[in-house]
Amino acid sequence: MTKKKILGIDLFSGAGGMSLGAEWAGVSVKYAVEKNIYASETYQANHPKTTVITSDIRNFSVIPANLGTGVTILFGGAPCQGFSTSNRRTNNRKNPDNWLYKEFIRVLRLWQPDWVVFENVTGITEMESGVFLKEIINDFESVGYTCSCKVLNASDFGVPQKRCRLFLIGSKIGKVVDLNLYNPTQKVTVKDALFDLPTLDNGACIDVLPYAREADNDYSKILRGSLSQSSGHLVSKNSEYVLQRYKHIKQGENWTSIPGKLMKNYKDSSRCHTGIYHRLRDDDVSVVIGNYRKNMLIHPWTNRGLSVREAARLQSFPDSYTFRGSIGFQQQQVGNAVPPLLAKHVFNRIIEQL
């Protein structure tokens, strides 16, 4: 690995998943900008050496002068709800959130770092038949960056989740980065990720608990480290009629397995999204975590939703990583995050160029 010091700033940092991956790769993240107070608190609790600026990105106009000397990287991803293919009403250029990436470009012009990493959902590649993505790339190139762009699946990099994200890497010195290299590891399954965690019930509310059993695979051993207990064992409390629905769904199945008589509160249950009421398969990677409470994502072995820690495991957060705020805010932070292990491999591609 290079001996050069690598300094980073994280925009739209959220709970810090991308920063964690950057740090694992050897980046010293000096500043992070995040306007959500609970996500900001989570970030600060887990990244004590980073200065967190709790502010709207539009108020961030001065690059700190005390970063130090070294290779510089600006990274992050603008809020992605407007780019999501599942949100057709806002999947167009009329949605103001779709222009927040311009704030990223603005800071890029201010700082002019050596490298830039921009991350977002894959829907951005499909929006307006790809024209919108071309405009984004043109914006990066107009600032002077040579761009490499690729959609990566987290499950190809040791994350137990089928989660595809777009990564755009920009180089100020004309480097083209090969993002086609996959991590040559066997797929990590849901069982690998969850097997040693405590047995929980619907509505579980005891935050810190000891492990249920010894870790039996490399993935859980690495995320667990030397801990004997972990936090985040919080589960949303579902109504009894929801629990009755869970009982009819086998691993890998969704709402279509629920008897019609139990779905009468839906005006037209046939129009439900395929991701609703999905029970995870324990012998495969997870589906996208996302808003797992709203989607009623079901635990593979128990008739309940996922705990915050279980979702964090499926995102590749270590068990030492703690989340702040009420359960709803914690769930949102985990679901919105970039899987740290995926981010690590992206930053490794850059470090290999140095």
Active site residues: 80
Q: Residue 187 is encoded by which pair of tokens?
A: 């797929």
The one-letter amino acid at 274: T
Rounded CA gap, 94 and 42, in Å?
32
Q: Which of 209, 193, 200, 224 is nearest to 313 (CA)?
A: 193
Host H or E run for residue 43: helix 37-46
DSSP 272-341: --TTTTPBPPTTS-B---SSTTTTT-B-SSSSSB--HHHHHHHTT--TT----SSHHHHHHHHHHSPPHH
Q: Report in angstroms the alpha-carbon separations of 272 from 81, 181, 187.
A: 19, 37, 30
Give the gyration radius of the chain's Cα atoms. Answer: 20
Question: Residues near 293 by Cβ (< 8 Å), separated by ≥ 6?
Answer: 236, 305, 328, 331
Cβ pair 150, 167 in contact under 8 A: yes
Host H or E run for residue 153: strand 146-153
